[in-house]
Structure 1
Amino acid sequence: MREERIVSALQKALGFAMIVAGISTAAVQLAKGNAPARDGQAGTATMQSSEAPRIENAKLETRAVGASLDAAIRELAGKAEAPEWVGYSVDEVAGERGACCDNNWNDGNCGTCRLEKENGGTTSTSHSDGSIKLEGARRLVVLYRLEAKQVVKIRVASEDCVVDAGGLPFIWLTGVKAPESVALLATYVRRLDFEEHGERKIGSGALTAIALHADASADRALESFTAPEQREALRKQAAFWMGAARGKAGLIALQRMAKADPSSDVRAHVAFALSVSHEPEALDEMIRMAHDDTSSHVRGQALFWLAQRAGKKAVGIITGAIENDPDTEVKKKAVFALSQLPKDEGVPKLIEVAQTNRNPAVRKQAMFWLGQSNDPRALQFFEKVLTQ
């Protein structure tokens, strides 16, 4: 009996101590202007957790996603009369690039993403100091603006952005699975208003978000957007993200598009997408397009983007097109491509073309771009021509 009384006394003392500690903690929080947050209820004006960015100027609430992300967003949108934001995070695609609102990237860290700033946009930006997060995956923040019982805007930000919600309600969802996120975003990409601009460009925002997901489901979704039956505007944008963000899987899709897409405009855009890819084989596909594509427009665009990559292989293909392409317009575009090379590579080649090419239109084009170069070697060449 004595032992039982001692245990009971200790339990009461411990319980009292815990209550006092809880009251003390709450008092400290209240003194700082914060209230203890509870699951499913509004939190403080600033929040940061292991998977959330720093969220400021918001009426915060944290919820578990529940049965499915699609159902959660539908439920929230169905109740949203006034503007509010919903966000969650998933693993971000690997690389040095980060998604930051309004190109606000400073010293390798994203600044403040002001969600309610007029004409705010999202820019994919490289770290200015070349740093890469090596331990663990970076998190991508996906943001939905709800109003009038529908999703009206989709944006993304990197985890190191500070998100300013402009004083609006902000619901942070936890436990979101990347494949569900991709599937939901894809429904907005496939909408008929994909090509809308301004405040209605929901599809473009959704496409950007998909492209920056690390999950393999993003590769499959993007590839589905490049199918020939899809709209050209969608195929072009999807091609860009294949090159800019999707690595080897993106390159494989671009190689297929370069050979099989029925639109010369889309294939020309594929040449650009290949130029922003970091995969070594992308250069080889650009060379093939410059040499073999049936469209003179595509060959010319491939030559132009090859010039931006420079290198001996690119120079050889460009000069080869000047000599051997059957279309004079392609030859002229190749001359322009020479003008885009670093001057120590481009100017001597332009002088050579101006001196020796048999096509007068091509020689004239070379002379024109030499005149635009402001290079002393070009001036010496003109003096020599004029004094002969």
Structure 2
Amino acid sequence: MRNMITVAVVAASLVLGHTPIDAQRAVPANRTAGFANRAPGTELRAPRSFRTNAEATYPGDPADSLYRAARSAMNRSEYGRAAELFRQVTDRFPKSAYAGDALYWQGFALYRRGSNNGDLENAVKALELQGERYPKASTRSDAQALLVRIRGELARRGDEGSGRRIAQDAGRATARCPADDDDDDMRIAALNALQQMDSDQALPILREVLDRRDACSVALRRKAVFLVAQTNTEAGGELLVKVIGSDPDAEVRRQAVFWLSEVPGERAVTVLDSILRNTRDTDIQEKAVFALSQHESSRARVLLRGIAESGNITEELRSRAIFAIGHHSGTREDGVFLRSLYPRLTSERLRETLIQSVAQIESADVRAWLLSLVSNDEQPLEVRKKALFWAGQNVTAVSDLINLYEELSDQEMREQLIWVLSDRKETKATDKLIDIARNDKNRESRKKAIFWLGQQNDPRVKKLLLEIINQ
């Protein structure tokens, strides 16, 4: 019963106000052992899913002035005063056009004050009264949403009856199958709510969900896979491994592979290695490579390097592994490996990916290597241009780029360097472009320099352009 109420309580909170879970978002750094708890004091934040601004729209109504006074008190955050005035609207003017909505705003004001259970219980009474007397009120759907939220808060404070009511409401929501993004479905919301529980409590529930095979459970299983990974436990990892081997839905299996990156220990790495060796599903293979790139295990780094240099793996997978080595790890040893791999690559695409990857690693060796590629006439032109681009992304000192201009004999490479210099913020880079625009012997180089200088807001550039115009 305790677990059921816990799930129901937080399900109410999530289904009515919190941002739906994005399965690709980054996991908070403090989530190292079980789910992160909600920060104290956030339970009574005004949800975005029901109205928070009481508008006065019936100026000729006998309750208009009283309603406006209540509205003003609400806007000043005087919630107790506002609740009392909204109550008077309904009591004194039960046939007013404002009467039904006033009950909603009375409940909302009490909810916002929420200093004790009495406020919340009175809010429930006001909202229930609206349903009985004014079922067609314009705020009725907002009131229903707020009612579930308040009951959830009461249950969180120990009111078992409120928790049981929410659980019963959730159990009745079985008429249709939820979609993957249907966070308004109570079953999806209940799964979301498991994040508020300790992993020891959550995993048995998630295991039951993942064991289901009925048609309506597919979206639930996909959501459950993500939540299992967020427990960050070895038990969660074993559950994901089971899903990978047995779930009939391909997307559930793919998501389980993807989220193995969040599971600590070598078992996850071993499973990912096995997947890459044995599966022919390219999407699963790509997710396995990504999971390896995110895993903290040193063995995962070794496996990525093996994929990068293997001639028996598709170019796409090799490209992803090469990309990941520099972007997600980026150690000095990774830089040494990538530079040693470069001459063994025959694919221009893989070479360009490697250049981008190695450029993410900050070291003098990387800068020197990139410039050596730029200066090497035996390398393909596009590869040299790619190396120059990445060398210019604040990896290489601007003085080295300026010196390089005189060394380059190929016109396309010079024009590439002019573009690279235009993207640098240093004064020296602008000085060099001005010099090229004024003095370079090649007309195309001068035109390129003038074009890129025209994109800058520099007084010296304006002066140069005037000089050229007035020639």
TM, length-normalised to structure 2: 0.48
Does 2:271 correspond to 1:184? Answer: yes
Give runs of ≥4 in structure 1 deviating > 6 Å: 76-81, 140-146
Does 2:269 correspond to 1:269? Answer: no
* Residues 80 and 149, structure 1, Cα contact 8 Å, conserved in 2: no
Q: Which residue of structure 2 aligns with residue 358 of structure 1?
A: 441
Change (3 A) 1:332 1:232: farther
Q: Which amino acid aligns with 1:53?
A: F
Q: 1:339 aligns with which of 422, 426, 430?
A: 422
Q: Which amino acid aligns with 2:352?
A: A
Counterparts in 2 of 1:144-163, with a 5 A limit? 147-148=247-248, 150=250, 151-153=253-255, 154-156=257-259
Q: 1:296 aligns with which of 381, 384, 405?
A: 381
Q: Which residue of structure 2 aligns with residue 53 of structure 1?
A: 35
Could you list the per-position Cα deviations for residues 65-121 of structure 1 after superposition, in whole angstroms to 9, with x for gaps in the alignment?
Answer: xxxxxxx9xxx8997974324445799xxxxxxxxxxxxxxxxxxxxxxxxxxxxxx
- TM-superposed CA distance for 1:203, in Å, is 3.1
- TM-superposed CA distance for 1:351, in Å, is 1.1
Does 2:391 correspond to 1:306? Answer: yes
- Matched position secondary structure for 1:349: helix
Q: Which residue of structure 2 aligns with residue 208 of structure 1?
A: 290
Does 2:320 correspond to 1:259? Answer: no
Identity across matched positions, percent: 21
Could you list the per-position Cα deviations for residues 177-234 of structure 1 after superposition, in whole angstroms to 9, with x for gaps in the alignment?
Answer: 633312322344565443xxxxxx4333322221122212111111112125233322
* Distance (whole Å) between structure 1 residues aligned to residue 372 and residue 240 of structure 2: 40
- Matched position secondary structure for 1:372: coil
Change (3 A) 1:34 1:333: closer
Q: Which residue of structure 2 aligns with residue 131 of structure 1?
A: none
Gaps of at least 5 residues in structure 2 are 9-29, 37-190, 195-200
Q: Which residue of structure 2 aligns with residue 135 of structure 1?
A: none
Q: Which amino acid aligns with 2:265?
A: A
- TM-superposed CA distance for 1:322, in Å, is 2.9
Q: Which residue of structure 1 aligns with residue 48 of structure 2?
A: none
* Residues 244 and 273, structure 1, Cα contact 8 Å, conserved in 2: yes
* Distance (whole Å) between structure 2 residues aligned to residue 356 and residue 258 of structure 1: 38
* Residues 211 and 241, structure 1, Cα contact 8 Å, conserved in 2: yes
* Distance (whole Å) between structure 2 residues aligned to residue 358 and residue 310 of structure 1: 29
- TM-superposed CA distance for 1:141, in Å, is 12
- TM-superposed CA distance for 1:301, in Å, is 1.1
* Distance (whole Å) between structure 1 residues aligned to residue 446 and residue 239 of structure 2: 53
Q: Which amino acid aligns with 1:223?
A: R
Q: Which residue of structure 1 aligns with residue 306 of structure 2?
A: 224
- TM-superposed CA distance for 1:357, in Å, is 2.5
Does 2:470 correspond to 1:387? Answer: yes
Larger strand proportion, structure 1 or 2?
Answer: 1
Q: Which amino acid aligns with 2:284?
A: I
Change (3 A) 1:180 1:239: same
Q: Decide which moves more: 78-87 or 343-352.
A: 78-87
* Residues 90 and 213, structure 1, Cα contact 8 Å, conserved in 2: no
Change (3 A) 1:186 1:326: farther
* Residues 347 and 377, structure 1, Cα contact 8 Å, conserved in 2: no
* Residues 189 and 206, structure 1, Cα contact 8 Å, conserved in 2: yes
Q: Which amino acid aligns with 2:431?
A: P
Q: Number of residues paired by the alignment?
A: 268
Could you list the per-position Cα deviations for residues 28-53 of structure 1 after superposition, in whole angstroms to 9, with x for gaps in the alignment?
Answer: x4795479xxxxxxxxxxxx996333
* Residues 357 and 363, structure 1, Cα contact 8 Å, conserved in 2: yes
Change (3 A) 1:192 1:253: farther
Q: Which residue of structure 2 aligns with residue 286 of structure 1?
A: 370
Could you list the per-position Cα deviations for residues 262-287 of structure 1 after superposition, in whole angstroms to 9, with x for gaps in the alignment?
Answer: 12222222221122224453323222
Gaps of at least 5 residues in structure 1 are 1-25, 36-47, 64-71, 92-139, 160-175, 195-200
Change (3 A) 1:319 1:193: farther
- TM-superposed CA distance for 1:317, in Å, is 4.0
- Matched position secondary structure for 2:34: coil
* Distance (whole Å) between structure 1 residues aligned to residue 432 and residue 375 of structure 2: 19
* Distance (whole Å) between structure 1 residues aligned to residue 444 and residue 31 of structure 2: 64
Q: Which amino acid aligns with 1:386?
A: I
* Distance (whole Å) between structure 1 residues aligned to residue 469 and residue 423 of structure 2: 26
* Distance (whole Å) between structure 1 residues aligned to residue 31 and residue 439 of structure 2: 67
Does 2:457 correspond to 1:374? Answer: yes
